[in-house]
Homo-oligomer: A and B are copies of this chain.
Amino acid sequence: MEGRATASTPAALPYYVAFSQLLGLTLVAMTGAWLGLYRGGIAWESDLQFNVHPLCMAIGLIFLQGDALLVYRVFRNEAKRTTKVLHGLLHVFALIIALVGLVAVFDYHRKKGYADLYSLHSWCGILVFVLYFVQWLVGFSFFLFPGASFSLRSRYRASHVFFGATIFLLSVGTALLGLKEALLFKLGAKYSLFEPEGVLANVLGLLLACFGGVVLYILTRPDWKRPSQAEEQALSMDFKTLTEGDSPGSQ
């Protein structure tokens, strides 16, 4: 693009990324199938409003959030700033879709007169939302907003990556709790009779856990990190920011 040398992509990485996308799309499709086959489908202005919640969360807080984490592994030779913007945008889409899912369940509870925020699923869910929003705001301030110094960015980077992965894993755990809750409230003791809905939802749960595991594997393989020439280019861009008015001593 700008005369830089391009680094080769590790041989196995594309297969793992493809597998993660297959898992992610399958789990979204299976969530849709579960809601369509056993829960009457989806609508906003009826009892089906509840079903907007699991579908939005599967798309936003699982699939899109997972993909946002993979951006730096997939786009290895593009300009760092382009990759950053894509990473930030995918998280914004994930957050907006998840917010629709959140409004759906609160609105449904209000119309039905059900209590809010009593279950472990809801407590974990609120925790995920707060952490996700704070992580996005802090990430934006440090990495996309031009004010943060190079040293500050470097020091924050490791925490950003750790909390990003942790929030994603907590999202997967929260989705599993929600799935279990939805199953037990409807099936009760019939769950033990291997009802088709129960088996389908169990498989969906395993898919959720596998998607989390594969994304984590791709993220944590040290030799699959974005190659150093791209990092070095970013470093020079950061130094450019630094010399254009940022204070090296700022905290």
How many chain A residues have a CB neighbour from B under 8 Å? Answer: 41
CB <8 Å contact, B121 and A222: no
Known contacts A158-B222, A185-B184, A220-B162; A206/B124 CB under 8 A: yes
A115 contact set on B, CB distance < 8 A: 192-194
What is the CB-to-nearest-CB distance from A125 to chain B, in angstroms, rounded to a whole number? 12
> Residue A209 contacts which of B124, B191, B201 (CB distance < 8 angstroms)?
B124
CB <8 Å contact, B202 and A119: yes
CB <8 Å contact, B180 and A217: no
A206 contact set on B, CB distance < 8 A: 120, 123-124, 127
C-alpha gap A193/B216 in the complex (Å): 37
What is the CB-to-nearest-CB distance from A228 to chain B, in angstroms, rounded to a whole number? 16
C-alpha gap A141/B22 in the complex (Å): 34
List A127-143 residues whose CB lies under 8 Å from chain B. 127
Interface-forming stretch among A35-43, A79-87, A97-105, A165-173? A165-173
C-alpha gap A114/B193 in the complex (Å): 10
Asked whether A88 is an interface residue with its Cβ less than 8 Å from the other chain, the reply is no
A120, A176, A183, A206: most-surrounded residue (chain B CB, <10 A): A120
Asked whether A181 is an interface residue with its Cβ less than 8 Å from the other chain, the reply is yes
A173 contact set on B, CB distance < 8 A: 172-173, 176, 209
Asked whether A30 is an interface residue with its Cβ less than 8 Å from the other chain, the reply is no
CB <8 Å contact, B209 and A179: no
Asked whether A177 is an interface residue with its Cβ less than 8 Å from the other chain, the reply is yes
A121, A169, A172: most-surrounded residue (chain B CB, <10 A): A169
CB <8 Å contact, B179 and A120: yes
What is the CB-to-nearest-CB distance from A124 to chain B, in angstroms, rounded to a whole number? 7
CB <8 Å contact, A191 and B118: yes
Asked whether A54 is an interface residue with its Cβ less than 8 Å from the other chain, the reply is no
C-alpha gap A173/B120 in the complex (Å): 12
Known: A118-B191, A123-B206; 5 extra A-B contacts, CB below 8 A, are A118-B194, A119-B180, A119-B202, A120-B180, A173-B209
Q: Write 12 A-B pairs (CB below 8 A) sorted by A numbering.
A: A118-B192, A118-B193, A119-B180, A119-B198, A120-B183, A124-B209, A158-B221, A162-B216, A162-B217, A177-B177, A184-B184, A184-B185
For the complex of A and B, 5 pairs with smallest distance between CB atoms: A120-B205, A115-B192, A184-B184, A120-B202, A118-B192
